[in-house]
Amino acid sequence: MIIDTHCHIFKSEMENAEGIIKQAAKNDIHMILNGTNPQTNKEVLELSGKYENVHAAIGYFPLFADEISDEDILLLDSQLNDDNVVAVGEIGLDYYHTKDNKVKQKELFEKMLDLAEKHNLPVIVHSRKSIQDTFDMLKKHNVEGSLHCYQGSAEMAREFIKLGFYIGIAGPVTHTSNKKIRKMIKGIDINHMLVETDSPYLSPEEKRGEKNTSLNLKYIIRKLAEELRMSENQVMSITAENARELFKINVDTNEIMG
């Protein structure tokens, strides 16, 4: 089994979402679909209820901080009881796109972390140009989870790992110019890494200019194996087991729908 721990393969992002999901199932690929707002959370729940290889992560993305209402929070609280939900995500902080609503972003992130604690779920965290604030907020909560598409230093990654977090490795590790991430992965243990695509975004070097899908995990796994001097099977096995442990994914691969 291969597990794509972060992707957005649903109709509002990809026209042929269900076709991609079925193709992934035929290749023993499980995926954690990440919602970002009330509409995409609904899509994620519907797909996770339909396909055995789809697992749900639902939450509110920081760029929607100005839009999320108290009613939306109550709705999410209820939806997190769904048996197909394995995480609260995609949540976090993003100061790259805007710093104007930092306070609201933090308030929303706080509410998401509170819900994760309440429901005893891990979190999938987006952090862009906000790494220290992200760390400081996570440190105050009894949660574990993953740092989606982590782009910080190995030193900071090790601090997140101490909190119980895994480091998400995505397509940028394959990008020719991205030496920073390849340096970082050599400074942490693979037992704390996850693989992800962020489909339809962040296509690997081999697929630049195309929409990304979970089928491209093989390029990320290949690059990790090359950089860490391991076999691709080792990388695949270890990262899948990391995901299974964190997100409590326990399914019979023979039951995956094709």
Give the angle subtended at the CA of 166 by the CAs of 123 and 103, to the nearest 5°. Answer: 45
| CA pair distance 150, 145, nearest whole angstrom | 12
Q: Which helix (H) or strand (E) holds 88?
A: strand 85-94
Which segments in the chain show pLDDT lower than 70? 251-258
Residues in CB range of 115: below 8 A, 6 or more apart? 73, 76, 77, 80, 88, 121
Output the pTM of the full model. Answer: 0.95
Nearest to 195 by CA among 164, 143, 158, 232: 232
Q: Rg of the chain's alpha carbons, rounded to an integer?
A: 17
Q: Are 195 and 202 in contact (CB under 8 A)?
A: no
Give the distance, in angstroms, between the CA of residue 137 and the centroid of all CA atoms in the same chain: 18
Nearest to 184 by CA among 129, 147, 236: 147
| CA pair distance 216, 183, nearest whole angstrom | 22
Longest C-alpha distance within the chain, in Å?
A: 50
Give the distance, in angstroms, between the CA of residue 178 and the centroid of all CA atoms in the same chain: 20
Q: What's the one-letter identity of residue 137?
A: M
Token code pair at residue 234: 């080792």
What does the domain layout of the chain look like in residue ranges? 2-255
Position 147 scores a pLDDT of 98
Position 251 scores a pLDDT of 65
Position 211 scores a pLDDT of 96
| CA pair distance 86, 246, nearest whole angstrom | 9
Task: Please report how many Cα atoms fall inside a 13 Å half-sphere around the Cα of residue 131, on the Cβ side.
Answer: 15
Superfamily of the domain at 2-255 = Metal-dependent hydrolases (3.20.20.140)
β-bridge partners, 193: 167
